[in-house]
Amino acid sequence: MNKSLVTNVIAALGCIAGFGLNIDWLFYMSLFALSGALTNWIAVHMLFEKVPGLYGTGIVQLKFVEFKSAIHHLIMSQFFTQENLDKFLTEPTGDAHHFDLEPLIKETDMSSAFDSLVQTIQQSSFGGMLSMFGGTDALAPLKAPFEENLKQSISEIAASDEFSEKLKSQLSSSANVEDIRTKVDNIVQQRLNELTPKMVKDLVQEMIKSHLGWLVVWGGVFGGAIGLVAFFAGL
């Protein structure tokens, strides 16, 4: 169910009903609710999509280089430490297609990637509006689903035949751990370079857009409450 659409439709129907039936309090409440929900819905849309003439829109696509850089740093600093590489070299890996990085990925702290995303949102046109709903604390519920989806996405990259073949080939031909890290770094960078701005946008959008829909819902709720206060204050 599209929470944003439902909220806007309910608020719009309330406006029509309040105006048509001359129920002033319903009209005021629904009008303010529609204003709050619609404004937040537009802000969420502008977070992902570039709108010609509006500065700061499409920030996720504009900042895709920084986002990829954060993922690259996370992978290299968490997965391919000296301890992990020593383990790879001393334990049999079997066939290249079964080179399993998933246990490491599951244990990896993805907080730095989420922090990078939060910073990106703060720098967008959505940042100012976000402060009305508790600032970055309002994004806290997104952290768990974001990290879970990010781990799944990284697992899919690491599990690909091409990645496994290249990784095992480089490990078996390297003389020392630092040389291995350099070569693995190049492989990871090559894979991340294949991500386009649209792919990064779609990845982030899939992870958090349904949760950002609640900001639209609460925009409608708080807008409606403000509308009621404004109506009764004017009596």
For range 58-75, the mean pLDDT: 77
Quick one: which of 225, 148, 210 has its CA closest to 3?
210
More confident residue, 116 or 85: 116
Amino acid at 25: W
Residues 216/46, Cβ–Cβ less than 8 Å: no
DSSP state, residue 95: S
Residue 226 scores a pLDDT above 80 = yes
Quick one: which of 8, 162, 188 has its CA closest to 80?
188
Amino acid at 113: A
Instruction: Tell me the per-residue pLDDT of 89-100, one tens digit each, with 9 for 90 and over.
Output: 565 544 444 456
Residue 184 scores a pLDDT above 80 = no
Highest mean pLDDT, choosing among 2-11, 13-22, 79-88, 148-157: 13-22
pTM of the model: 0.52
Q: How many residues in the chain?
A: 235
Q: Where are the domains of the chain?
A: 3-233
Residues 54/61, Cβ–Cβ less than 8 Å: no
CB atoms within 10 A of CB 102: 13
DSSP state, residue 142: G
Highest mean pLDDT, choosing among 22-26, 43-47, 97-101: 22-26
For range 17-31, the mean pLDDT: 92
Listed range (15-19, 27-31, 39-43, 172-176) with the worst mean pLDDT: 172-176
Residues 37/6, Cβ–Cβ less than 8 Å: no
Residue 12 scores a pLDDT above 90 = yes
Alpha carbons 104 and 110: distance in angstroms, whole number: 12
Sign of CA dihedral 140, 67, 213, 226: positive
For 83, the token pair is 């301890």
Alpha carbons 194 and 54: distance in angstroms, whole number: 28
Highest mean pLDDT, choosing among 37-46, 152-161, 207-216: 37-46
For range 219-235, the mean pLDDT: 85
